[in-house]
Structures are given as structure tokens and as C-alpha cells.
Chains A and B, each alone.
Chain A
Amino acid sequence: DTAVSQTPKYLVTQMGNDKSIKCEQNLGHDTMYWYKQDSKKFLKIMFSYNNKELIINETVPNRFSPKSPDKAHLNLHINSLELGDSAVYFCASSQRDSGAFFGQGTRLTVV
């Protein structure tokens, strides 16, 4: 069983579209994250949720809206996609102040 799973793995879409990426963890963790990895491999934290509550929003444009229906899920919705949104997006989960486990990533390409 995959501990942190995100779908889709690949996403190609046109500028201006709205898309969602889903994430689920079966580890029973309280905290979930979204990270963005650019072409230089830099991993930047976007959001962090703890027990469905938003605790970190790292100056991400408000076109990005995370939603956590329960503590096992953290979805990412992106409105009005731009070329600069192209990246690999990783979902992760952890128990607070312990190591995070990552999903396999969603490669988003905006054309």
C-alpha cells in the first residue's frame, strides 16, 4: 500500500485553465504539506495543514487553494494556470516535528 499517494502523476494543461491535484495518506499522520519543486530541484514549501487546519501559507498566490476534507486528504486546486506554475508538486505527511513522507509527485506542465 502506498503511504502517500497523489494523482495525477502527470498533468498537461493550457494557460488559464483550472486544475486540481489530489493527495491521500494512510499513515495516520496529523500534518500534511504541499511542496513545489522547480527545474533546479529546489523544494519550496507552499502549505501545511495540521488536523485539517491551515497552519502555513508561504506567500503562495491566491490562485492556489488547498482543501483538507479530513486529516488524511489534502487537495490542491489551482485557478487560472500560468506558465510559471509548471513544476513538480509534492504532497507529504508527517507527525508534528518528525520526518515527512513524500508522494511521488505530480508533474504539471502548462502550455
Chain B
Amino acid sequence: GESVGLHLPTLSVQEGDNSIINCAYSNSASDYFIWYKQESGKGPQFIIDIRSNMDKRQGQRVTVLLNKTVKHLSLQIAATQPGDSAVYFCAVFYNQGGKLIFGQGTELSVKP
């Protein structure tokens, strides 16, 4: 089946701390994973992606980790800033049917 779950609906962190947002998926055949950021009143914005032939990928202040054994991925944000406050979604591309399925989202709040 196809489902993408998120471990926490909300996450509150202090400015400057690191944030970790987790996601679980169900289909072991998935080979492409994406993290999106959605600010209030806007559409989801692509942050970083990873394919199944990798277990880690880094961007600017963000790192995505993929553990295919337990079907889990995470987004790490270093030195979290107030501008990082948003809802974060993991999305999984299912080759069968060619569709992008979103998790439920985690709302990240950054306290100054």
C-alpha cells in the first residue's frame, strides 16, 4: 500500500538549535524522496531530495537521511532560524502509478 506518516505533528525549537523532523513510508519499492516547506498562504516549496541509492544528502543548513531498512527518512535543519517556521512535508514518489504522495506535515515553530 501507499502511506506516508509523520512522527510528530508539531515541533518547537529555540532559535539556533538544530531541528529534526521524521517521516515513515510504507512502500519499499519507493526510490525517490523529497522534503517540502510550506509557509502560511503559500504553496509547498522544494527543499531537498534524495534517491534510494543514497543514505544522506546535504544542502545549505539542511540534511536528509534515508534509512531504507526501516523505511524512514528525516530532515535535519542546522541552526534553526525564525524564517524556518513553517509546515514541513515529506513526499514519496511511487513509481507504480507515478504519483507523489505527501505525509501529514510537521509544523515547526522557532522560538526567539
What is the interface of chain A, defined by CB distance below 8 A to chain B?
4, 31, 33, 35, 40-45, 48, 50, 55-56, 58, 90, 92, 94, 96-105
Contacts and interface: CB of A to CB of B under 8 A. Distances in A.
Contact of A41 (B91, B101, B104): B104
A96 to B, nearest CB: 6
Contacts of A42: 102, 104-105
Contacts of A31: 98
Interface of B: 31-32, 34, 36, 38, 41-46, 49, 87, 89, 91, 93, 95, 97-102, 104-105, 107
A34 to B, nearest CB: 12
A43 B45 CA distance: 13
A50 B97 CA distance: 11
A21 to B, nearest CB: 13
Given A43-B89, A99-B49, A50 B44 contact: no
B99 A48 contact: yes
Contacts of B34: 99-100
Q: Is the interface of A mostly helix, strand, loop or mixed?
A: strand
Given A102-B44, A104-B42, A97 B99 contact: no
Contacts of B98: 31, 48, 50, 55-56, 96-97
Nearest to B93: A97
A99 B46 contact: yes
Contacts of A105: 41-43
Contacts, number: 65
A94 B91 CA distance: 13
Nearest to B35: A99
Contact of B101 (A45, A99, A102, A103): A45
A105 B98 CA distance: 22
B7 to A, nearest CB: 16
B43 A103 contact: yes
A53 to B, nearest CB: 11
Contacts of A41: 38, 87, 104-105, 107
A92 B43 CA distance: 9
B79 to A, nearest CB: 24
